[in-house]
Amino acid sequence: MAAESPAKKARVEGNEVIDGEEYDKGLLSKAREFAADGQISMAEAKSLWKAVQADKVVTDTERRTLLYTLEKFKYTPKAETLMKEILATGKVPQYFKTIDKVHYDSGLLQKAQELISSSGDKTISLSDARKLWLEAQDGKGVTECEERTLKYTMEKNEYTEEAAQFMREKLGLKETAADAVRRLRTGMGSDAHVVCILGGTKFQGEDSEALVQAIASKLGAATGSKARFMTGGMPGVQETFAKNCGDGSRVWNLLPVGQSSGFGRGKDVNAGADLEERKAIFDLLGDLYITVEGGPGVSQEARAAHARGASVVPVMRSGGASSGMFDFPRDALQRPRFATEERWSLLSSKDAPVEASAAAVAAIVEAAVASSKATGTATEAAQRSGASRDTVVVAVVEAEVAPKQEQEQETAEEAVHRLRSGLGCDAHIVCILGGAKFNSDDSEALVKAIAAKLAAGADSRVKFVTGG
């Protein structure tokens, strides 16, 4: 151990002698102050070490003093572990993990992964959430970094409804619609193609119930493991679909917090304080919406989904909103590029057998899922190459535009859906507008500075799009 520096020798007379041993009086005073409320926290343990390192020399007396504080004062478990590691290695261990230039608590991240790994269904249960919260506690509350880390675990991992509610309450969070969509899509799988079911709560047409049963059966069998089906937990079309879609393992029923579907099939999930909030989340959730019958409510939800670029497949033969009533989006009644003329016509033909129309719906959805897979592959390839966010955007656009030149004319709505799918379902898209030539002296420098700061500080979900 290093000899005491002249500055510290001058303070020897101020040392405190206990049972014949000398201890640093200033350190002891600071430790007593920290322990006055019952225990020394992790931040306070770091403060003690920082005081010792003030002149970059650690004396025998100071080391002995820190050991004494471990024996005589209560440290929180995390603080005790930290101080022991400091005394063993002579430095503060790295307790942070940097992701996208943001610091997170590495211990909490590791704990979350351990809990997920030990869980049979790879989810964080209510019991696990309580363990995480306890892990974050350091005797004196949760630090800003720990709070940020807990929020991160909620974004990147699947919490059960009870666990998510517990953690939101502890963190004082109100889940936004975007947060709910991100959580639900994470639970369904990051590569899932989410198919939402819309329809009336009572069947009006003679063959509508049989039609929904046949559609559910064929979709459950035909669309592969990446397709996930979401209902709003309502009777009628949604309940019938849930009960007839295979074994229900790929069906989710979305309801307001505290409510259940009672379907006995599929997994109930909760988001939104009431039906209106639930609807808003449902409208943002799907990649594709199938509509059967329906009134003004179904039409409203179809409009909202279609307006943001989601695909809508209306079973027009069923009547109601799905046939164009109640201000149903007119463009959604037009055949999308992934549907053949023959299949699309079967959706409107009342003379076609129920099985034929149901098979057409399944084939159209399967084609949409396949199209989504191709876009995802382009995105993943760009990311694997180590490309920047801007390069990923360009790679997706270039991969998708070329084939379009050999196909029929793409509608604006279809282009938006394709491009947004390529950018990522949870992307926050920032579009750049400006003149083709700079007219002010400092405008070019200003744009360069804005671009540099956005690239350095933006969340990884932010994507930038220019007009070329």
The pLDDT tens digits of the residues spanning 273-315 come to: 899 999 999 999 999 999 999 999 999 999 999 998 899 999 9
What does the pLDDT read at residue 295? 95
Q: Output 468 or 100, whichever has higher pLDDT.
A: 100
Q: Evaluate if residue 403 carries a pLDDT over 60.
A: no
Mean pLDDT of the chain: 82
Q: Evaluate if residue 122 carries a pLDDT over 90.
A: no
Q: Evaluate if residue 221 carries a pLDDT over 90.
A: no
Q: Evaluate if residue 55 carries a pLDDT over 90.
A: no
d(CA 415, CA 327) in angstroms, rounded, equals 23
pLDDT band at 387 (very low <50, low <70, confident <90, very high): very low
What's the whole-number mean pLDDT along residues 313-341? Answer: 94
Q: Evaluate if residue 327 carries a pLDDT over 90.
A: yes
Between the alpha carbon of residue 27 and those of residues 39, 49, 98, 332, 449, the distances in Å are 15, 9, 32, 72, 47
Poorest-pLDDT segment among 134-143, 201-210, 316-325, 395-404 = 395-404
What does the pLDDT read at residue 425? 53
CA torsion angle for 22, 27, 33, 36 (degrees, to 10)? Answer: -50
What's the whole-number mean pLDDT along residues 143-168? Answer: 87
pLDDT band at 385 (very low <50, low <70, confident <90, very high): very low
Q: Evaluate if residue 18 carries a pLDDT over 70.
A: yes
What does the pLDDT read at residue 94? 64
What does the pLDDT read at residue 139? 56
Q: Evaluate if residue 28 carries a pLDDT over 50.
A: yes
Which residue is listed with tokens 């579009």?
A: 431
What's the whole-number mean pLDDT along residues 327-331? Answer: 93
What does the pLDDT read at residue 399? 34
Q: Evaluate if residue 100 carries a pLDDT over 60.
A: yes
What's the whole-number mean pLDDT along residues 38-65? Answer: 83
